[in-house]
Amino acid sequence: MSTQTSSTIQFPYKRTLGPVISRFFSELTAQRIVGIRSGDRVIVPPMEYDPETGNQLAEDFVEVGPAGTVVSWTWVAEPGKHHPLDRPFAYALIKLDGADTNLLHALDAGSEDAVSTGMRVVPRWRDEPVGRIDDIVAFVPGETPEGPAAGEAQDVQTMDYFSTITYTDVLSPTLERYAASMRAGVIKGQRCPQCNRVFLGRGYCSVDAIILGEEHEEALPDFGVVSNYTIVTPTPYPGQKETEPFARASVVLDGDEMVIAQQQIIGIPVSEIRVGMRVKAQWFPAAERDAAEITSKGWGTVAGFIEGWVHTGEPDEPAEQYMNRVF
């Protein structure tokens, strides 16, 4: 049985537009399409520079379209979630009247039979324009634009763009064994036969670039010493769940130089955390242990299995032993 883990990365972009794209999007809000002159050519959508020479262009805008002619097209019979329309449609390259270049956009024509190279198309305008390329919902066949009456142009300076990607990872054989061991409450590492260092959930030695297998695995203690820490005062940003100052500590497991970084210390105020403090793992209850944080895309993690580390009550190790280290 293989374990699948899923992760979603989101990018909530707010982009500034610069003088040329800003003008283009501002005009769209008033249902006008503008190009930019480069010599005797008109480039649509407008660019800050000539696409062929790279020369910066004067901001000499000219209105084009709104009707145009289809130069190329393809039919999307089964739209996906990232496509602009939820029914079958065409992507098309459209040469707007008065333009010397093509514009990529969607074409809502009902059926594939209704689409052909050379056909005439016009915009269907969005009901409430915001100043984006999709203020044109799609192009449609004909010469008469569709949509509400045009309003005043807005001054559009930025654009929101929300991007999200979901990944489904199947754990490698090494990570599968690692996850099984962690579910059972045992930290299992792999010892490199060349340098004798131990690595968690990785499958290879990071120093010697040697593949490590099941024969190199051994159980490790789930207690050790805080070797370093930092206290973070959180500032709000997308994805930040912390609201109060919190600590992230490095824990060196007993007996080896195996450092587990970015750990929470539980049960004491952050101001009392210190280098040299002896700690032990506080495992999540067996039923709550979760491999979701393990991926094939990085180094081993104990997240999802170990909630944090608690002070054992034993005397501290001398802090000096842990100086001059990165972690």
Q: Tell the smallest beta-carbon distance from residue 117 to other proteins (Å).
A: 6
Q: Does 323 bind other proteins (CB under 8 A)?
A: no
Only segment of 42-50, 141-149, 256-264, 315-323 that touches other proteins (CB under 8 A): 42-50
Least distance from other proteins to the Cβ atom of residue 298, Å: 5
Which of 176, 267, 181, 275 has its CA nearest to residue 222?
Answer: 181
Q: Does 84 bind other proteins (CB under 8 A)?
A: yes
Among 10, 11, 184, 214, binds other proteins (CB under 8 A): 11
203 binds other proteins (CB under 8 A): yes
d(CA 44, CA 301): 50
Six token digits for residue 227:
């070797």
Piece of the chain touching other proteins by CB under 8 A; list 46-54, 181-189, 254-262, 317-325: 46-54
Whether the Cβ atoms of residue 231 and residue 219 lie closer than 8 Å to each other: no
Please identify which residue in 133, 153, 259, 319 interacts with other proteins, judged by CB under 8 A: 133
Sequence-ordered list of residues with C-beta below 8 angstroms from that of 12, at least 6 positions apart, any chain: 160, 162, 238
Which one, 71 or 303, has the nearer CB to other proteins? 71
Member of 110, 148, 234, 298 binding other proteins (CB under 8 A): 298
Q: How far, CA to CA in Å, does 1 sit from each of 140, 170, 181, 194, 215?
A: 50, 10, 15, 32, 21
Q: 192, 199 in Cβ contact below 8 A?
A: yes
Q: Is residue 207 within the footprint of other proteins (CB under 8 A)?
A: yes
| Region binding other proteins by CB under 8 A among candidate stretches 26-34, 183-191, 203-211, 236-244 | 203-211
How far apart, in whole angstroms, are the C-alpha atoms of residue 11 and residue 122?
32
Task: Round to whole Å and give the CA distance between 202 and 253.
Answer: 17
Q: Which segment (57-65, 78-86, 230-238, 280-288) binds other proteins by CB under 8 A? A: 78-86
116: helix, strand or coil: coil
Residue 229 is a binding residue for other proteins (CB under 8 A): no
- Pick the binder of other proteins from 10, 55, 56, 72 (CB under 8 A): 72
State which residue, 207 or 286, has the beta carbon closest to other proteins.
Answer: 207
- Residue 63, SS3? strand
Per-residue binding string, other proteins, 257-276, x by CB under 8 A, is --------------------
Q: Applying CB under 8 A, which part among 58-66, 209-217, 240-248, 251-259 lies near other proteins?
A: 209-217
How far apart CA 121 and CA 71 sit, in angstroms, is 11
DSSP string covering 17-53, please?
-HHHHHHHHHHHTTT-EEEEEETTEEESS--SB-TTT
164-167-172 Cα angle (round to 5): 160
For other proteins, how many residues bind (rule: CB under 8 A)?
65
Give residues in contact with other proteins (CB under 8 A): 2, 7, 9, 11, 13, 15, 17, 21, 43, 45, 47, 51-52, 71-76, 80, 82-84, 91-93, 101-106, 112, 117, 132-134, 159, 161, 163, 165-170, 172-175, 195, 202-204, 206-211, 295-299
